[in-house]
Amino acid sequence: MAGKTLYDKLWEAHLVTQREDGSALIYIDRQIIHEVTSPQAFEGLRLAGRQPWRTSASVATIDHNVPTTPFKSAADIADDTSRIQVQTLQDNTREFGITEFGIGDVRQGIVHVMAPEQGAVVPGMTVVCGDSHTSTNGALACLAHGIGTSEVEHVLATQTLVAKKMNNMRVSVEGELGAGVTAKDVVLHIIGVIGTAGGTGYALEFAGSAMRSLSMEGRMTVCNMAIEAGARAGMVAVDDVTIDYVKGRPFAPQGADWDKAEAYWRTLVSDADARFDEEVNIDAADIKPQVSWGTSPEMVVPVDANLPDPAAESDEVKRSGMTRAYEYMGLTPGMPVTDIKVDRVFIGSCTNSRIEDLRAAAEVAKGRQKAGSVKQVLVVPGSGLVKQQAEKEGLDKVFVEAGFEWREPGCSMCLAMNPDRLEAGEHCASTSNRNFEGRQGNGGRTHLVSPAMAAAAAVAGHFVDIRELDQA
Amino acid sequence: MEKFVRHDGLVAPLDRANVDTDQIIPKQFLKSIKRTGFGPNLFDEWRYLDEGSPGQDNSVRPVNKDFVLNLPAFQGASVLITRRNFGCGSSREHAPWALMDFGFKAIIAPSFADIFYNNCFKNGLLPIVLSEDNVEALFQAVNGKEGYRLTIDLEGQQVIPESGAALPFEIDEFRKHCLLNGLDEIGLTLNEADAIRAYEKGRMEREPWVFADH
Ligand code: SF4
């Protein structure tokens, strides 16, 4: 019998019942809850007179709607609908006895930053959240994916999900990453190779020596964007990096439990003879710092390239997509990436708002100044704890001295549900994950990059190759 | 979820094809925290002459008197007949929520968009597929007689007009079972509560830390 993949192991360990029609009931260990996709789920429980199956399985926080300027209570949120959603989450979690890291709690932050940080997500878990970037948590060898509002309620009420097993795909990145090449560049490159639908229907395992060389935070950046490659779940096998990351976190097991946990977690790797339905191999040496130029994450090129010519694209659907993207982005085929000027810069989001991301950006910002042509540079830490740590290291001062704005934690300009947004026509160097039309504000033009590349663009006023920053 | 066994109701005709979920419930209303209360904004852009926003007093808004659901004859309608590919577009569950909140129990069309069709069953709304010809005949019947009603017999899988032959329809056995018994997916899963508890017990022994309080 062939060996098992990491996903096979996680699936089997959570199988409650297998039904005849091919669907299955799988047990959900952890549900993470935020204010936008949960209100109807709680209302559903209330209407049906149901209670959560296991309140300790859930952890909630506010992120999508919160302002990133200081505020003390929900009453300080100017936008009515945002304020109501924040207030409602507070009311619901109190009513049902669910832990919430709310306003003023240093643990509050973006769901996918907060959960691993607290150790609320540990290896071997199934993790869901009403948010497609739940795949982030797969970096800890978890089966983690986003769900819809009816399913949020289903998990609250039953602690299970009706699911069908996905296929296995492995993307292996072998070799050493070049200077200036980060986890963000790796995942953007992968999406450029397999396309935004390349992972549809698959559970995606990221493997290879380059992946193992990444820190846990870097792995989270990669798994975060599995969904942008079409895969609902991304994951990385357990190794020392995983174990060291989890140890000592508030929710993590301790004492004898820890030893038992570690022994089990170490088995959470794909067997040497495991069979994958699809395998993709990437040479780390081929990966350069990336910049997305269009309105889909697969429209991405190395920073030292020129923008692609739609006329050279043989697939008609793709060609027309590229033409439409050029129109929306106000760019011309063939122009060098480094000629794209930026109006605003956003450093944050569940992709790149952890302490390492901020350190990388600060290293570039240090001793430099925001270009006069750049209207605003927002630096938004992923959680209160990330913010605290950054301030301890003096990163906030580095940013402020460079003319960047240091903000409170939240999703912010990643999706512009709060006041942070682009004006129509503005180009933004952004460390977030989606460059869809209007994502960062109506008519806004998003370019996805790593934190260091974003900071470099802020300083230069246009994209620059981080590897040649001083000549810029 | 409420049971759906048999329903007799006033029919409203929405003579359009490809009605998408943005038309059913425009995106500005998704910021709501409720699953209910979308009824007044169902087909908002067609029903009202101004642009709607959440939290408005809809009773004072200028109404499009020509829109079918605003006509006096169709007040209290609970069965909607419409044209092909109803519910295309986004996956928002707000679409079936809005239709149900307005008072619809069943939608009859020649075809439905996939996700919308699924979402209906999760919420106890019955989408019925009839042939183009049968739907056309129903449109004519509704337009020819004020107060036209239909009876929907889910058990017997047929739509029964006031006069003429009953129209049979197909439905997945499992979904029919859920509707007839008022079982939502949650209710159904809870039938397996013992299996879930047994599973949990095993896991608690193997991985107690997963179940720790915090
Ligand atoms: S940071 Fe952006 S992508 Fe991440 S959870 Fe928030 S809105 Fe979603």
Of B122, B189, B214, the CB nearest to A158: B189
Query: CA-based Rg of chain A, rounded to a whole angstrom?
Result: 21
Measured distance CA(A55)–CA(A157) in Å, rounded: 10
Flag whether residue A12 sits within 8 Å of chain B, measured between CB atoms.
no
Could you read off the pLDDT of A427-437 as tens digits, one per residue?
999 999 988 87
ipTM attached to this prediction: 0.92
Of B35, B195, B213, the CB nearest to A40: B35
> Which residues from A are below 8 Å from B172, CB to CB?
none
For residues A110-121, average pLDDT? 97
Cβ of A171 below 6 Å from ligand 1: no
Residues 6 or more apart whose Cβ sits within 8 Å of residue A254: none
Cβ of A415 below 6 Å from ligand 1: yes
Distance from residue A372's CA to the centre of ligand 1 (Å): 29
CB atoms within 10 A of CB B153: 16
Are the Cβ atoms of A162 and B185 closer than 8 angstroms? yes
pLDDT of residue A308 exceeding 80, the answer is yes
Token pair for residue B93?
């569950």
Distance from CA of B203 to the nearest CA of A (A): 9
Give the atom of ligand 1 at the shortest distance from the alpha carbon of A353: 1
Q: What is the pLDDT of residue A462?
A: 98
Cβ of A191 below 6 Å from ligand 1: no
Could you read off the pLDDT of A153-171 as tens digits, one per residue?
999 999 999 888 999 999 9
Written in H, E and C, the secondary structure of chain A is CCECCHHHHHHHHCEEEECCCCCEEEECCEEEECCCCCHHHHHHHHHHCCCCCCHHHEEEECCCCCCCCCCCCHHHCCCHHHHHHHHHHHHHHHHHCCEEECCCCCCCECHHHHHHHHCCCCCCCEEEECCHHHHHHHHHCCEEEECCHHHHHHHHHHCEEEECCCEEEEEEEECCCCCCCCHHHHHHHHHHHHCCCCCCCEEEEEECHHHHHCCHHHHHHHHHHHHHHCCCEEECCCCHHHHHHHCCCCCCCCHHHHHHHHHHHCCCCCCCCECCCEEEEEEHHHCCCEEECCCCCCCEEECCCECCCHHHCCCHHHHHHHHHHHHHHCCCCCCEHHHCECCEEEECCCCCCCHHHHHHHHHHHCCCCCCCCCCEEEECCCEHHHHHHHHHCCHHHHHHHCCCEECCCCCHHHCCCCCCCCCCCCEEEECCCCCCCCCCCCCCEEEECCHHHHHHHHHHCECCCHHHHHHC
pLDDT band at A197 (very low <50, low <70, confident <90, very high): confident
Q: What is the pLDDT of residue A106?
A: 95
Ranges assigned E (strand) in chain B: 6-14, 79-82, 106-109, 126-129, 149-153, 158-161, 167-168
Measured distance CA(A392)–CA(A106) in Å, rounded: 14
How many angstroms separate the Cα of A369 from the Cα of each of A395, A430, A458, B116, B159?
14, 18, 8, 51, 72
pLDDT of residue B91 exceeding 60, the answer is no
Are the Cβ atoms of B214 and A99 closer than 8 angstroms? yes
Q: What is the pLDDT of residue B115?
A: 63
> Which residues from A are below 8 Å from B31, CB to CB?
81-82, 85
Could you read off the pLDDT of A3-22 as tens digits, one per residue?
999 999 999 999 999 987 77
Residue nearest atom 6 of ligand 1, based on CA coordinates: A411
Burial of A22 (0-12, 13-18, 19+ CB in 10 A): exposed
Could you read off the pLDDT of B33-77 as tens digits, one per residue?
888 889 999 999 889 998 788 888 999 999 999 999 999 999 999
> Which residues from A are below 8 Å from B207, CB to CB?
124, 261, 264
Helices B94-102/B114-122 angle, 10° precision = 60
Q: Which of A248, A259, A26 lies closest to A151, judged by CA?
A: A26
Residue nearest atom 4 of ligand 1, based on CA coordinates: A350
Of B33, B55, B210, the CB nearest to A29: B210
Are the Cβ atoms of B55 and A153 closer than 8 angstroms? no
Q: What is the pLDDT of residue A75?
A: 86
Flag whether residue A197 sits within 8 Å of chain B, measured between CB atoms.
no
pLDDT band at A82 (very low <50, low <70, confident <90, very high): confident
Q: What is the pLDDT of residue A472?
A: 42
